[in-house]
Amino acid sequence: MEQSESADGPPVEALRAVFDVHEVRSDGRRRIYYGESLVPEQMLVREIWSAFRGAGYDVEAQVSGLGETDVVIVEPASQGIEEIPWKNITLFALTVLSTLFVGAYAWYYIPLSDIAANPLVLLRAWPFTAAVLGVLSVHELGHYAVGRYHGVNVSLPYLIPFIFPFGTLGAIIRMRGQMPDRKTLFDIGVAGPLAGLLATVVVTVIGLSLEPMTVPSEVLARSGDMIVFNNPPLLDAIAAVLGRPTEYADPRTVVHPVVIGGWVGMFFTVLNLLPVGQLDGGHMVRAMLGERQESLAAAVPLVLFGIAGYLHYVRGLGLNQSVGLWFFWGLMSTFIAYNGPAKPIDETPLGTGRMAVGLFTFALGAACFLLVPIQVIPG
């Protein structure tokens, strides 16, 4: 049975022009309209978006197209952080702990026995934690700030704790509701990589300016495998400008662990700029090329599998010399591509300014790319 609408409620008259309302129900903050759409789903949302958004509501539609009941769901648009984000805070705290532990043990060479005897020694690794979480958080906060600027409902960053080699798997944000237009989609997508790369350059400059670390003799005497992180072109370029080395003839001397924060920022930039699904590159290319993005996304897994095959069959490298890395991301991109990027309501193409910014951002991403970023060398 249809309910009455209050004067300050959703602008239902705009909905009735394209949707035959049979019943209205309330579900908490949401209002659900059941009935029959008079136009295709994408057109339905496009027709009612402005009126509902102007009244302070997000709207989504589910049109069956098979003669079944169609649904329009309306809820007040988020105006910011409405309660204490305990999940974000908890994940942040856990990631701080995981990066402190990994930093202390793997990058500051503090023995496990010393950590067990006095856990406060983990705090010696705070520069590593600040560098790694700094570049990741700035990246995601770039998305968050621009999303809020455009009135899109985006969450605060969720940091992901992990183990070696960095103590984290990165960070993500969630976007809810409809994407208004291609300009908004592009702005949100590009803000993360640009903000993250700016933080990455700053962290790399600071790290290269710090005094190198001395590897304890007992660490050098170990016979285990050694992980080597090769320098992306951008890192080498920054080091050349500063006139600072990234490696030393003496094996006991290595760059300061803060430099690893810059390396992490560059590596995650490359992965985020893959033009598939909900990754930043997927959103950007969807905004830049429209639906033609799907053709490019379909080629990404093939390219990544091709890189893995080239490294293995042509250069003779093993799974632990980045072959497995690119094969894994080939599988991941195949899965991610099925979800696709956000679909904007307004498909008006981008202007030349944003297209240029997009190409520039992908060029910066290319400066962070390496065929063999990680190698495991047997001890």
pLDDT tens digit sequence for 322-347? 999 999 999 999 988 777 777 888 88
**Quick count: other Cβ atoms within 10 Å of Cβ 226?**
10
Global confidence as pTM? 0.85
Shared domain for 255 and 164, answered yes or no, is: yes
Residue 139, number of CB atoms within 10 A of its CB: 28
Amino acid at 224: G
Residue 12 or residue 203, greater confidence:
203
The β-bridge partners of 354 are none
Is 177 within a domain?
Answer: yes
Range of the domain at 35: 12-76
Domain boundary among 54, 76, 98: 76
Judge if 24 and 144 occupy the same domain. Answer: no
Share of the chain above pLDDT 90, in %: 53
pLDDT above 80 for 257: yes
Region of poorest pLDDT, from 183-187, 206-210, 221-225: 221-225
Is the pLDDT assigned to residue 1 strictly greater than 70? no
Q: How confident is the model at residue 174 (pLDDT cuts 50, 70, 90)?
A: confident
pLDDT at residue 81, rounded to an integer: 62
Q: How many residues does the chain have?
A: 379
More confident residue, 142 or 377: 142
The whole-number pLDDT of residue 165 equals 86
- From 35, 51, 76, the end of a domain falls on 76
Residue 280 lies in a domain: yes
The answer to whether position 42 is within a domain reads yes
d(CA 245, CA 258): 14
> 311 in a domain, yes or no?
no
Distance CA 121, CA 111 (A): 10
- What's the longest Cα–Cα distance across the chain? 80
pLDDT > 60? residue 7: no
Task: Report whether pLDDT(190) > 60.
Answer: yes
Amino acid at position 303, single letter? V
Between 8 and 207, where is the model more confident?
A: 207
Which of 76, 109, 132 corresponds to the end of one domain? Answer: 76
Strand-pair category, 179-181 with 344-346: parallel
Cβ(111)–Cβ(122) below 8 Å: no
Measured distance CA(310)–CA(120) in Å, rounded: 46
pLDDT computed for residue 82 by the predictor: 61
- Of 82, 288, 87, 258, the closest CA to residue 185 belongs to 288
Q: Does pLDDT of 2 surpass 50?
A: no
- The answer to whether the beta carbons of residues 187 and 150 sit under 8 Å apart is yes
Token readout for 253 is 């001397």
Claim to verify: residue 64 and residue 184 sit in the same structural domain: no
**Structural contact between residues 69 and 35, judged by C-beta atoms closer than 8 angstroms:** yes
Cβ–Cβ < 8 Å for 284, 190: yes
- At residue 150, the pLDDT reads 87
Q: Residue 65 has what pLDDT? A: 61
When pLDDT is cut at 50, 70 and 90, the band that residue 79 belongs to is low
Residue 375 has pLDDT above 60, yes or no: yes
Kindly state the tokens that stand for 133: 């979480």
In a domain, 245, yes or no: yes
What CATH number is attached to the domain comprising 38? 3.30.1360
307 is a domain residue? no
CB 106 within 8 A of CB 165: yes
DSSP secondary structure of 185-235: HHHHHHHHHHHHHHHHHHHHHHHHHSPPEE--HHHHT--S-EEEEPPPHHH
- The region of weakest confidence among 231-235, 332-336, 352-356 is 332-336
Strands 374-377 and 226-229: antiparallel
For residues 148 and 108, membership in a common domain is answered with: yes
pLDDT given at position 278: 86
The per-residue pLDDT of the chain, averaged, comes to 87
Within this chain, do residues 70 and 171 fall inside the same structural domain, yes or no? Answer: no
H runs (alpha helix) in the chain: 12-16, 41-54, 86-102, 112-117, 126-149, 182-209, 217-220, 233-242, 258-272, 280-289, 293-309, 324-339, 352-366
Residues 6 or more apart whose Cβ sits within 8 Å of residue 252? 214, 215, 217, 220
Domain for residue 65, yes or no? yes
Q: Are 236 and 245 in contact (CB under 8 A)?
A: no
C-alpha 154/C-alpha 187 separation (Å) is 13
User: Which pairs from 20-23 meet CB under 8 Å and 24+ separation?
Assistant: 22/69
Domain identity same for 117 and 47: no
Do 152 and 130 lie in one domain? The reply is yes
CA–CA separation, 173 vs 169, rounded Å?
13
pLDDT, tens only, 234-254: 999 999 999 999 988 888 889
Residues 70 and 160 in one domain: no
Same domain, 169 and 241: yes
Same domain membership, residue 34 and residue 174: no
Domain annotation covers residue 379: no
Same-domain check for residues 215 and 356: yes
Query: What confidence category does residue 260 fall into, taking pLDDT thresholds of 50, 70 and 90?
Result: very high
The number of distinct structural domains making up the chain is 2
- The Cα–Cα gap between 379 and 377 comes to 6
Query: Are 71 and 90 contained in the same domain?
Result: no
pLDDT in tens, 205-221: 999 999 998 888 877 77
